Chain A
């Protein structure tokens, strides 16, 4: 073994390099020839960003509400008007009787009913006070809770208006400061999620299926008997997907900044470096899947069900991790996307530096190395 390369070895390396470039070019042709997949590849992140940014929100608005005003006095109509003017509700025709409520709930036209009993105005100033009954359709518990809160606040407000002289002596006044997101931009939280999903699709699902496809069609055998080094076949396959992922990433960033008004606070260099690390992890996963499966359907199933679903559910961008059972919180620690989510949140959205995310970066890098190692180990030069 000598440490300086002899001229022959250098020549070998040059040939290898040239071969690799030729192969990468071939893989690019494969990718670009398939216009439909390409269209979806770039359409998907755009559509996701648009939907999450403009159509979906956890806010609750336009709630169907109906009243049964048995009092028909000035106070009850004041209160009802106060509720009607709130932008949260869409007022439906009044309720005629108790059975009507159930019919309305069952046809789904209202989510909440407000019942004001006889003698509302008269009862207001008695010792017992006036009564109001709220009935919420809790088959959608989220909406039910929020509606009850809205209504309770409005009723409280109204009560306060009736009692102008009741002021508390002591006041602790909270000065709220919204960090990182003064405008309460609801799109902020899901952007890291959309990014990781897209990486998972391009780098893991697409890569694994593309490789298994060559196995299924039999062209893999031809590649393997060629003088080209088998490991480089994999490298050449992975590189176009790496570039596609990066291109997608840039598109998402541009859309977020110019369309959704997201402010990128951290250093772009760091964000890109971390993203490349995550893409490599995803690619390693894709290679691993392709090396242990023999059919496209299995590869799809593993990457879609086994990886996408956990990414969607257990990363924390859609549903809060804190509210999940302990076991899921533990499982979430083995998902690379979880760390990437933390990293992107800290660097891109909070503007923190590397010193805040070195731990996550280290874990992610460790995962990438481990996955690549296993993928290489499992890579069989001979088919079946």
Chain B
């Protein structure tokens, strides 16, 4: 135990001497918490529309105002020809171009039916399909308006119409703000970086410089060395988690709805799992460069598959199975449940089992691998 105390003392000194780690601990969490939720926004606020009006009639102008005032669209240009309209899309200025053909109003009154051309930039398929459906909604609204203008008296047989009124409510996040969803995820990202990245690089650094050999020839036991390496980073991780939680409250006013002790319990177990991963990575790498790349490789896959950006439910089956085997998925889920919905222990107890499982598995693998290489 005395030996362990000395190792811990050494590690803490090394960590706190290193300005980089200090920066990682305090500056980067805050920067990430401030920048990422603002930038990582999947909401599509404005779809840019070019309106080619070749009719110049009262109807075509009405339609233009309706589109511009719908709140979905930003009118970015009113070129005079279809060719100029296409150019708006080619230049990336407009996402959608609507072409009103000559004789639009006349045909609409006479034939009751008129086609209009809609060009969509479909490279971003989310944006184009959303923009398309917004436009459909505005057009059918416009049709209905025309209906009312023309045939108010005909509509008296309304009584026999079946009507369904839908009232919707958004729980836990009434204004549906995306940042409320992102911020707890970033807390997870922070812990993941500490556990996976920094630990791996720190241990490999000793390998690269050769100081690990010196430690290997001392009477320090393997478990003392590993514990001495991991424990300080566990502390650092918990500090970062706390800093992150404070930043989350100060910057975004998000306060965990659920039990904070429960949150810390999960964070503590998750960190042990991730430290195991960091250790495992360090056993696979011979130098810091390799460690960085191996860590980056795993982190990238883990983060992408975790449901941080896109929902895991919509993944194909094989991907969903894979994402279930990913500790990040479970921790993100739990943090979101506890922070946003105030879930209690009874709701998340299975997740705790998962985390404990990951912690044991990853650390066992790491220690097994560690023995073999040294």
Chain B positions 158 through 184: 1 when the CB is less than 8 Å from some CB of chain A, otherwise 0: 011111111111111110111011000
A163 CB, min distance to chain B CBs, angstroms: 5
Inter-chain contact B309/A318, CB cutoff 8 Å:
yes
Residues B40 and A172 in contact, CB atoms below 8 Å apart: no
**B371 CB–A CB distance under 8 Å:** no
What is the CA–CA distance of A107 and B347 in the complex, to the nearest angstrom? 5
A/B pair count, beta carbons within 8 Å: 327
- Chain A neighbourhood of B124, CB < 8 A: 188-189, 320
Contact between B122 and A180, CB atoms less than 8 A apart: yes
A108 in contact with B151 given A134-B168, A137-B171 (CB within 8 Å): no
For B162, give its contact among A124, A168, A319, A323 (CB under 8 Å): A124
Judge if A181 is at the interface, Cβ distance under 8 Å.
yes
A81 within 8 A of B: no
B122 contact from A62, A131, A158, A184, Cβ within 8 A: A184
Instruction: Report chain B residues within 8 Å CB of A151.
Output: 166
Which residues of B sit under 8 angstroms from A44, Cβ to Cβ? Answer: 293, 296-297, 300
For A381, the chain B residues whose CB sits under 8 A away are none
Binary contact track B73-106/A, C-beta < 8 Å → 1, others 0: 0000000000000000111100000100000000
Query: Is B142 located at the chain interface by the 8 A CB criterion?
Result: yes
A268 contacts the other chain (CB 8 A): no
Which parts of A166-198 form the interface with B (CB within 8 Å)? 166, 168-182, 184-186, 188-189
Is the CB–CB distance between B127 and A210 below 8 Å?
no
Contact yes or no, B289 A131, CB < 8 A = no
Selecting from A1-9, A239-247, A270-278, A295-303, the interface stretch reads: A295-303
A376 at the interface (CB under 8 A from B): no
| Binary flags per residue of B262-300, CB closer than 8 Å to A gives 1, else 0 | 000000000000000000000011111110111011001
Interface string of B330-352 (1 = CB under 8 A from A): 00010011001111100110000
Interface centre among A127, A166, A170, A178 (most CB of B within 10 A): A170
- Cβ of B126 within 8 Å of any chain A Cβ, yes or no, is yes
Which A residues are CB-close (under 8 A) to B146? 169-170
> Please, which residue of chain B has its CB at the minimum distance from the CB of A63?
B313
Q: A138-B173, A323-B41 are in contact. Are A59 and B135 (CB under 8 A)?
A: no
Q: How far is the CA of A171 from the CA of B115 in the complex (A)?
A: 8
Which residues of chain A are within 8 angstroms of B35 by Cβ–Cβ distance? 313, 328
Q: Report if B112 contacts A (CB, 8 A).
A: yes
Asked whether any CB of chain A lies closer than 8 Å to the CB of B13, the reply is no
When the two chains form their complex, are residues B172 and A178 in contact, meaning their CB atoms are under 8 A apart?
A: no
| Interface-located stretch among B42-50, B229-237, B245-253 | B42-50
> Shortest beta-carbon distance, B280 to chain A, in Å?
14
Distance in Å: Cβ of B86 to nearest Cβ of chain A: 8
Q: Say whether B45 contacts A322, CB under 8 Å.
A: yes
Does B242 sit at the interface, judged by CB under 8 A?
A: no
Q: Is A125 an interface residue (CB 8 A)?
A: yes
Given known pairs A152-B166, A313-B35, the reply for A177 and B119 (CB within 8 Å) is: yes
Query: Interface size (B, Cβ < 8 Å)?
Result: 112
Determine if B311 and A189 form an interchain contact, defined as CB atoms under 8 angstroms apart.
no
Given known A-B contacts A155-B166, A184-B129, A346-B92, A173 and B38 have beta carbons under 8 A apart: no
**A259 contacts across to B, CB distance below 8 A:** none
A194→B140 CA distance, assembly (Å)? 39
Chain A 49-89 residues near chain B, CB threshold 8 A:
51-52, 54-64
CB distance from B183 to the nearest CB of A (A): 11
- Please determine whether A319 and B40 come into contact, CB atoms closer than 8 angstroms: yes
**Is A43 in the interface zone, CB < 8 Å from B?**
yes
Q: Which of A56, A131, A177 contacts B304 (CB 8 A)?
A: A56
- Given the interface pairs A54-B319, A134-B168, A356-B90, the reply to whether A173 lies near B347 with Cβ below 8 Å is no
In angstroms, Cα B311 to Cα A61, docked, is 9
User: Does B69 have its Cβ within 8 Å of any Cβ on chain A?
Assistant: no
Contact B143–A168 (Cβ < 8 Å): yes
Q: B108 touches which one: A62, A129, A170, A342 (CB < 8 A)?
A: A170
In the complex formed, the residue of B with least CB distance to A182 is: B122
B152 at the interface (CB under 8 A from A): no
Which listed residue (A140, A158, A163, A171) contacts B143, Cβ 8 A?
A171
Q: Judge if B213 is at the interface, Cβ distance under 8 Å.
A: no
Checking B39, B123, B139, B304 against A181 with a beta-carbon cut-off of 8 angstroms, the contacting residue is B123
Q: Which single residue of chain A is at the shortest CB-CB distance from B38?
A: A325
- A-B contact sample (5 more), CB < 8 A, given A41-B293, A141-B180, A152-B168: A43-B297, A141-B176, A169-B147, A181-B122, A328-B39
Q: Give 23 pairs: A residue, B residue, CB < 8 Å, sorted on A.
A: A47-B300, A47-B301, A60-B314, A107-B337, A130-B162, A136-B171, A140-B311, A141-B43, A142-B178, A142-B181, A158-B164, A168-B144, A169-B146, A170-B147, A172-B63, A174-B139, A181-B125, A181-B128, A322-B45, A323-B44, A323-B45, A323-B46, A350-B90
**Chain B residues within CB distance 8 Å of chain A:** 20, 23-24, 28, 32, 35-36, 38-46, 48, 63, 89-92, 98, 108, 112-129, 132, 135-136, 139-140, 142-144, 146-147, 150-151, 159-174, 176-178, 180-181, 201, 205, 284-290, 292-294, 296-297, 300-301, 304-305, 309-311, 313-316, 319, 322, 333, 336-337, 340-344, 347-348
